[in-house]
């Protein structure tokens, strides 16, 4: 019995880790891990945020197209309550990390939501798509 308990704990950990793997729009795991290509410094996950919300971080130049990429704010039911382009704060024509910033203005009655940062994908090809999702809480 003890051995199976440990196996279940290991399975739970693997399930948790798999649940954190970024996916493409069709649900497949993305072959290039976006978390290695983008870092958000503000806001932290599950932070209480208010409008206007400033999002800052850095992304590899490959996330940008024409010096920007889309950032969406969704409410708890998945409705888009704000969208704006994150703007590169430096030369984006590189594979290095480039700082970005975007400010979203919104109104919502939801208590929770999600910040979605999407790799700009002008080709529309699923294999080029990537995004990260950061859970947020709204000021009551």
Q: Where does the pLDDT of residue 35 fall: very low under 50, low under 70, confident under 90, or very high at 90 and above?
A: low
β-strand partners of 100: 57, 88
Q: How many CB atoms lie within 10 A of CB 99?
A: 15
Burial class, 65, CB count within 10 angstroms (exposed 0-12 / middle 13-18 / buried 19+): middle
Number of domains in the chain: 1
Task: Give the pLDDT score at 140.
Answer: 77
Better-predicted residue by pLDDT, 84 or 16: 84
Q: Is the pLDDT of residue 23 over 90?
A: no
Q: pTM (2 decimals)?
A: 0.74
**Rounded-to-integer distance, Cα 43 and Cα 51, Å:** 12
Give residue 98's domain range.
2-138
Share of the chain above pLDDT 70, in %: 75
| Of the candidate ranges 10-14, 52-56, 78-82, 107-111, the one whose mean pLDDT is the lowest | 10-14
Q: Where does the pLDDT of residue 15 fall: very low under 50, low under 70, confident under 90, or very high at 90 and above?
A: very low
Q: What is the CATH number of the domain that holds 70?
A: 2.60.40.1220
Average pLDDT over residues 66-75: 97
Q: Is the pLDDT of residue 87 over 90?
A: yes
Report CA-CA distances (Å) from 38 to 67, 86, 117, 133, 140: 15, 12, 9, 11, 29
Q: Is the pLDDT of residue 111 over 90?
A: yes
């Amino acid at each position: 019995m003890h051995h199976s308990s440990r196996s279940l704990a290991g399975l739970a950990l693997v399930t948790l880790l798999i649940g954190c793997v970024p996916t493409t729009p069709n649900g497949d795991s993305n072959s290039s891990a976006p978390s290695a290509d983008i870092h958000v410094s503000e806001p932290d996950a599950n932070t209480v945020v208010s409008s206007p919300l400033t999002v800052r971080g850095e992304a590899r130049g490959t996330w940008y197209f024409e010096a920007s990429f889309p950032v969406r704010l969704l409410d708890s039911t998945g409705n888009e309550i704000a969208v704006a382009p994150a703007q590169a704060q430096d030369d984006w024509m590189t594979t290095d990390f480039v700082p970005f910033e975007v400010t979203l203005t919104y109104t919502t009655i939801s208590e929770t939501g999600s910040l979605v940062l999407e790799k700009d994908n002008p080709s529309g090809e699923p294999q080029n798509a990537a995004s990260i999702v950061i859970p947020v809480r709204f000021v009551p």
